[in-house]
Amino acid sequence: MKAVKEFRQFLLRGNVVDLAIAVVIGVVFGALVAALVADFITPLIAAIAGKPDFSALTFTINKSVFKYGDFINAVITFVTVAAVLFLFVVRPINAMISRSRREPPADPTTRRCPECLSEIPIDARRCAFCTSQVEPQ
């Protein structure tokens, strides 16, 4: 009974649930892109090339059939998935990470003179521009 409880806790951990959701979404996304390639992009390329069904392109050597049309479909699917993931996932996440990693401002080495508002060293006791005395910080 304790093992079942531990197993349930393991399954309900955030990482396992997130991974399961990511796998399911990945499979559905892959099927969607495969359908886009098979139903839209491949016929478009086939119309340009003059063949009615791009995925049916084959050649035979010694009674072995090589389906290079299916391979080209797979390459187009891969490139399409990679491009979509790069444009809509990788680039936005990289931009978000770079924004969050901006360095905090450095400690100031200068300050303004209260009389003439010139930039003077932070440890200065007299302004180099108006020669007024300033309190050291």
Give the pLDDT confidence of 89-112 residue by residue, as tens digits. Answer: 889 888 888 887 777 777 788 899
Q: How far is CA 53 from CA 44, 78, 88, 133, in A?
A: 10, 19, 30, 87
CA geometry: angle 129, 133, 135, nearest 5 deg:
120
Same domain, 86 and 115: no
Q: Give me the mean pLDDT over the 46-56 stretch.
A: 70
Domain with 93, as residue range(s), is 2-100
Say if residue 16 is in the same domain as residue 46. Answer: yes
- Whether residue 55 is found in the same domain as residue 71: yes
Domain identity same for 57 and 77: yes
pLDDT at res. 61 = 92
Please check whether residues 66 and 120 belong to one and the same domain.
no
Q: Which long-range contacts (CB under 8 A, 24 or more apart) does 44-48 make?
A: 45/76
Say yes or no to pLDDT of 51 above 70.
no
Residues 65 and 124 in one domain: no
CATH number of the domain bearing residue 75: 1.10.1200.120
* Global confidence as pTM: 0.50
By residue count, the chain amounts to 137
Q: Name the pairing type of β-strands 110-112 and 64-66.
A: unpaired
Domain count, the chain: 2
Together in a domain, 82 and 130 = no
